[in-house]
Structure 1
Amino acid sequence: MNAPRKGNMGFGQRTRRLAPLQVCVAAAVPGLAGGAVAGGLVSRALSRLADIPANPLIERLNAPRPNGPLPAHYRSMPVVPADLGAFQRLADRDALTALATPLGETLADTTPPGATAADATPAWSPPPTVVGPSSAPPVPIPNANSDSVPPTAVVAAPGTGAPDPVPAAMAEALDRLILRDDRANPLGAGDWGAARAAIGAFYAVRGFQPVWVDGDGLTTAGRAVAAQIARAPQDGLTVSGLSLPRKLSAPLDPAAVAAAEVALASGVVAYAEQASGSRLAPWRVSPVFAARPEVADPGEALAETAAASDPGARLAAFNPPQKGYQALREALRRVDERAEGATPGDNAAADLGAVSDAPAFSDDALVGAAARTAKARAHRSYLASAAPAAARRASARERAAILANMEIWRWEPRDMGERRIEVNIPDFSVAVMDGDRMVMSSRVVVGKPDTPTTVFSDRMRYVLINPSWEVPDSIIKKEIAPRLAHFTHLGYEVKTVGGRLIVRQPPGDDNALGRLAFMFPNDHAIYLHDTPARQLFAEDMRALSHGCVRVEDPERLAEIVLNWPESRLEAAIGGPERTVFLPRPLPIHIEYFTEFVDADGTLEERPDVYGLTQKVARILSTKSQD
């Protein structure tokens, strides 16, 4: 199976944005070196150094590169030429070398006016303060040569004229988070180091001012996000590894404010990234998954949540918005309620009937009516204890399957298109959707477990009427080459080009693609098509193809996607191959959902034909115990 393409990606094939450290540093540079608004939020526009407005530091960053290598004492310096304290030491030297080398020609000119040569340092000394708006006092910049972020970010406390110790406490708390956080990664497959740097950059731009906590405890915004984070298990998310603030008793000293603020910011980032798909990298679960979820950028997640009129609702919105996900979330709630209501000896659990591992009793060991009575009592006693356990096991399996399918929803594009096609592999079905309304549905045949259909999203672009079939090399090698004369007799065209065997089946009633093929060019060689093997649609288990998707009612599908009347399509069938482009490309999603809620609100379960649900559930279970 081919790897997902890296360029010209199709619909929904997106790369993970895991906030490289240089992006985080770039976002913090204007506030620390250029006098940007200290109380503002990290702008999503600051994604590259080129996007940052000119200031003295940026001018030096963009200075011409030296022709030769940097002197040894420069090579031993931290590679981020901005005074960013902890963020500087978290930097990856290889990734940020490009930021360091342009300074080679200009470092000699960076000694502040009036200073002696002894006062010169290898790094450029930025202005002594960051000046915010008139309402925000200046925030001194930490010393680049210190081993930790010192408490120099001191501003005047509002209305007192006395130094405000909160920014200094915030800098120290962020230093601990960025450099000395050794907890298990709460993001799963996400980059927790980069996320911590983004948290630091967010507060650096704010002048190290808190958002969620003040001296009286949680702010209104803080209470909203704390409540949403507490509801994380309702979406199957795990934030138990984070030390989130529980009960805050006023008044809080600056250190307590800073500790609670940083902890809650970590919770916001962990929730947003988990909700948007950071826990598992789908392609590492199985190569069948070619989806690329767009994991929330940690800096943007903090900024957007803090700026929202309802921060809790904004945080919740990082979960998938699709109706299918929301229905599974409700199903999870019902399963949990049922599990909470079950008690040992519950008659409802006993109604499960005989349990497969119930002990057997031999009449030879027991005699007469008394023996039969004892046997019955023993069996009832076993059921009374075992049936609830069996019910709990069944409930746990159902819950794990729901959680796995909710996780797979996180890998789908958030905007799947109003008008779209959805193929659900375990359900062996294709549906044309208009919003939440199903326009049509048809049975399909999908790939066998050893030649699976890839899970991905793209756009259908054209339909082949009366298609010919260019036989894939894998099928030629396994099935046709050993019986080449037989296939030639059946009308297949065989030739050799450059030493490669080419086999083509011309259009016709016996063509493997039937009379219609629905094309969305992709690296997986997957498409939808008609088939002459109509008998396969009567099978319950329809994982029978080489990977492509065979459609039971291709004529109706063609009429819908081409917007053609039935008579026009009938007139076009027969004769040479013809390519007809759709009026506009149509999103198509090849999905894998073994659990879903039908139109009547019933939770449906389908066979795990490729074993993917079980694998996702097992990985999630392992991660939840880390």
Structure 2
Amino acid sequence: MPRRHWANLTSASALAIMLSCAPVLAQTPPAQAPLAQAPLATDPATGVPLPETPQLKLLDTEKPAPAGQTATDRPSDSDIVTGTVKSGATLRGAASVDATAPVETETEPVTLDIPQVEVPALDPALVPASKSSEPAPAPAPAETAPVQAAPALPAPDKPVTASVTVAPPAAAPAAGPLEAIPSLVPPPEMPKVVVDVPPGLAFAADIAARANDGVAVRRLGERERGEILAAYQANENKPFWIDAKGWTAAGKRIVAQLEHAADDGLRPTDYALPVFELSDKAKLAEADVRLSALAVLYARDARGGRLDPRRLSKLITPTLYLPSATEVLSELAGAPDAGAVLAAYNPPHEQYRRLKAKLAELREHLDDTPLVRIPAGPPLKLGMRDERVPLVRARLGLGSSDDSVFDRSTSLALADFQKKAGLPANGILSERTLAALGKPATARGEEDIVAQMERWRWLPPDLGAKHIMVNVPEMRVRVIRDGQVIHEARAIIGKPDSATPIFSHKMDHVIVNPSWYVPPSILKKEFLPGLAADPDYAAKRGYVVTRTKGGGISVRQPPGERNALGWIKFMFPNEHAVYLHDTPNRRLFAGERRALSHGCVRVDDPFALADQVLGPEWTSERLKKLIGKGERRINLPQPLPIHLVYNTIVIGADGHITRFDDVYGFHRLVRQALEQQG
């Protein structure tokens, strides 16, 4: 390269170096002059002023280095200088510091002017990050640690003063992890977390575990137990009747009703309440399920579920209206007064309420009849002699007697006692009569009332605004409308060996000039033996014999004055094939003992009854005009409920008790069944 070109290049390089150093030299005052404010630097690329860099300034309190001290007399880099860092308004420029001056080794404070860092206002919605429990990495050595330039922030309005103490080398601890710096800004107050637990959910696990034990109640069927368990599952196994304090208000009302079960002729021991401690949550849970099971059992018993009437006799076939467990729990859980709802499962009928009042009256008065223990022995009949006769007379209130003859007065008194006790009134001192004599009169009366109340449970809760009531033991037929008797007539009932059945149904039509088809029982007992002895047996009596498709025979009595059904019959088709009808033997109604039919109920003055059931369109006069003109069916305007009942005890409005003969022994069967169940 030519020398001239080298010279030009060297001159240009020197000029560039001088130009680049000129601003620094121009801004650097002499060592003794005060520090001047440096102009802001500008980005050469964009022309935007760069942020001001904080400058370090040594305050005047720092002592100057002694004259003549050389660089070799200054403390080594390993020496530690302690001092106090303070904030100042300005910083000394780097050019004002003499690099050759010795560093002070005294422990006087060193003041640094550090600009305050402006911290933006804290957003209350922000939650400060939790402190890290992991140690921070150790800082790199001073000679190797890289220096990162922090972004400059605007100068604060007020300075921040910090004090830093640098320990001597001997006291300096070994390098270790940096400690976590606590937040200078207090964390905002956290809202309280409230967990809303559904009521009763705390018992869910215990109810699920103890539910099977809770429903294990005697006489409660498997179907009802399953329905109770299903009801709890549908309720998320939450309790119905308890809380942490014991029974709820609804539970207390149910408990109170169960405790008064005896008032309705029910047995309180059948509804023994569970015992528990409030501290035992498992027992509380089981008690809730047990109370549900007892409430279901009570409701079904109140509706007649204690006994199965068809097991007592095939002629007792009422339709029971037993509620399901689901129905009972649904009604009780949603009722304002669960106790009243449970009590309403008992019969609502007026006669039942009178029986209940009479039962309470009997229990209030003690029996003043002296009890006489009569020894067991053979049955005593009229005219027999026995040493027990004076004891029997004393028990019956006939007065003392030394005569040991079982005379007529004793037999009649005993028959009256048997009638009241629901026993066959035959005047014979049997084993059963002897057992009844050993009970107080109050106890016997209670048992009779309870057995009669039980039969009222077999009737529908709603008898019908207008209905027919046939009381079989009383042998009377009544038409009742809105609780008032609008028609009453005597009746003839079935004989003891062909008893009138007990059930409820609906009468739907009437037949005038009916034919009588001999029922199979009468055909077998009377007609077949008669036809075997005389082929004209049926014809001589006005009956028509026809062959059936199955090879049997059918015997029919055509309409007429001698027809066994008379001129009219009232039909309510039923499994027993019985009905109400007229009779040609009307003189039989004058007798007191009228158990004479083959099972149907014969009605005195049937056309007056027809006036009540057929309405004004078909009067008795119009019906009588149809007599002898052939069989005619007339439908009722609407089906009429009819109830064939067995009431041996009837309470009058004045509280007087009327008793009727237990002609079929049904009353005795009910009373014995209740006693055996207990």
TM-score, normalization: structure 2?
Answer: 0.59
Q: Quick check: 2:258–2:271 contact (8 Å CA) kept in 1?
A: no
Identify which of 462, 472, 477 aligns with 2:509: 462
| Aligned mate of 2:293, from 240, 247, 266 | 266
Contact 1:186 1:242 in 2 (8 A): no
Shift in Å at residue 402 of structure 1? Answer: 1.5
Which of 572, 575, 579 is equivalent to 1:520? 572
Q: Which of residues 413, 416, 422 in structure 1 aligns to 2:469?
A: 422
SS at the partner of 2:496?
coil
Amino acid at match of 1:574: G
Q: Indicate which of 578, 581, 601 corresponds to 2:632.
A: 578
Match of 1:201 among 216, 230, 234: 230
In 2, Cα distance between equivalents of 1:542 and 1:161: 67
* Residue pairs, 1:406-445, within 5 angstroms: 406-445=453-492
Structure 2 Cα separation of the partners of residues 432 and 164 of structure 1: 56
Q: Which letter maps to 1:559?
A: D
* CA distance in structure 2 between the aligned counterparts of 1:164 and 1:599, rounded to whole angstroms: 52
Distance in structure 2 (CA, Å) of the matches to 1:217 and 1:235: 27
Structure 1 position 337 matched with structure 2 position 364: yes
Given candidates 346, 355, 362, the residue that maps to 1:319 is: 346
What's the secondary structure of 1:572's corresponding residue? coil
**CA shift digits 1:13-64 (9 cap, x unpaired):** xxxxxxxxxxxxxxxxxxxxxxxxxxxxxxxxxxxxxxxxxxxxxxxxxxxx
Over the aligned positions, Cα root-mean-square deviation in angstroms equals 2.9
- CA distance in 1 between counterparts of 2:195 and 2:464 reads 50
Task: Give the corresponding residue for 2:544.
Answer: 493
What letter matches 2:585 in structure 1? A
Contact 2:201 2:237 survives alignment (8 Å): no
Are 2:631 and 1:556 aligned? no
Q: Does 1:175 align with 2:212?
A: yes
Mark the CA change 1:356 to 1:544 in structure 2 (over 3 Å): closer, same or farther. same
Identity of aligned residues (%): 41
Partner of 2:559: 507
What is the correspondence of 1:53-68 to structure 2 with a 5 Å cutoff? Answer: none
**Structure 1 position 532, deviation (Å):** 1.0
Greater mean alpha carbon deviation, residues 251-260 or residues 227-236: 251-260
Structure 1 residue 271: Cα displacement: 0.9
Native 8 Å contact 1:469 1:504 kept in 2: yes
Cα 1:609–1:219 change in 2 (3 A) is same
> Against the structure 1 CA distance between its residues 167 and 570, is the aligned structure 2 distance closer, same or farther, given a 3 Å change threshold?
same
**2:239 aligns with one of 210, 235, 260:** 210
Question: Of Structure 1 and Structure 2, which has the larger fraction of its residues in helix?
Answer: 1
Q: TM-score, normalised by structure 1?
A: 0.64
The C-alpha deviation readout for 1:531-569, integer Å capped at 9, x for no partner, is 011122122221111111101121110111111333223
- Closer/same/farther in 2, CA of residues 214 and 452 from structure 1, 3 Å limit: same
Alignment of 1:89-488 (within 5 A): 165-177=202-214, 181=216, 185-187=218-220, 191=221, 193-245=222-274, 252-339=279-366, 342=368, 354-356=394-396, 360-361=401-402, 393-484=440-531, 485-488=536-539
CA deviation string 1:252-281 (max 9, x = no partner): 442242133123222211211111122111
Q: Which amino acid aligns with 1:492?
A: Y
Could you report, residue by residue, the CA deviation over 1:196-236 in whole angstroms, capped at 9, with x for unpaired residues?
22222222111222221212222111111111111111111
Q: Is the 8 A contact 1:508 1:515 kept in 2?
A: yes
Q: Which moved more, 1:219-228 or 1:252-261?
A: 252-261
Q: Match of 1:534?
A: 586
Moved more, 607-616 or 477-486: 477-486
Any unmatched runs of 5+ in structure 1?
1-155, 346-351, 364-388
The Cα of 1:480 is off from its aligned counterpart by 2.4
Compared CA separation, residues 298 and 239, structure 1 to 2 (3 A): farther
- Secondary structure of residue in 2 paired with 1:240: helix
Alpha-carbon deviations, 1:167-207, whole Å to 9, x = none?
Answer: 222222213335xx4x6x244xxx1x332222222221112
Q: Residue type matched to 2:545 in 1?
A: V
Q: Matches of 1:278 and 1:266 in 2, distance apart?
A: 14
Q: Which ranges in structure 2 are unaligned for 5 or more consecutive residues?
A: 1-192, 372-391, 405-435
Asked if 2 retains the 8 angstrom alpha-carbon contact of 1:165 and 1:254, the reply is no
The CA deviation at 1:162 is 13
Instruction: Please say if residues 289 and 456 of structure 1, whose CA atoms lie closer than 8 Å, have aligned partners that are also in contact.
Output: yes
Q: Secondary structure at the match of 1:450?
A: helix
- Partner amino acid, structure 1, of 2:304: G
Q: Residue 303 and residue 355 in structure 1: after superposition, are their counterparts in 2 closer, same or farther (change >3 A)? A: same
Indicate whether 1:587 and 2:641 are aligned: yes
The total of aligned residue pairs comes to 428
Give the C-alpha shift of residue 241 in structure 1: 4.1
Go from structure 1 to structure 2 and tell me whether the alpha carbon gap of 1:531 and 1:343 turns closer, same or farther (over 3 Å shift). Answer: closer
Question: Is the partner of 2:480 in helix, strand or coil?
Answer: strand
**Whole-Å separation in 2 of the counterparts to 1:397 and 1:157:** 64
Contact 2:546-2:555 at 8 Å conserved across structures: yes
- CA distance 1:321–1:535, change in 2 (3 Å): same
C-alpha deviation, 1:501, in angstroms: 2.1
Higher relative contact order (CA 8 A, sep 6+): 1
Offset of residue 282 of structure 1: 1.0
User: 1:325–1:409: 8 Å Cα contact kept in structure 2?
Assistant: yes
Q: Is the 8 A contact 1:282 1:292 kept in 2?
A: no
Query: Do 1:214 and 1:252's aligned partners in 2 also have CA atoms closer than 8 Å?
Result: no
Relative to structure 1, the CA distance from residue 283 to residue 390 in structure 2 (aligned partners, 3 Å threshold; closer, same or farther) is closer
Q: Identify the range of structure 1 (552-561 vs 598-607) with the bigger mean alpha-carbon deviation.
A: 598-607
The one-letter code sitting in structure 1 at the alignment partner of 2:301 is Q
- Aligned-partner Cα distance in 2 for 1:273–1:395: 28
Asked whether the 8 Å contact 2:319–2:504 carries over to 1, the reply is no
1:615 is matched with: 669
Q: 1:306 & 1:186 partners in 2: Cα distance?
A: 23
Aligned letter for 1:408? R
Write the letter of the residue equivalent to 1:332.
L
CA distance in structure 2 between the aligned counterparts of 1:472 and 1:225, rounded to whole angstroms:
51
Contact 1:227–1:312 under 8 Å retained in 2: yes
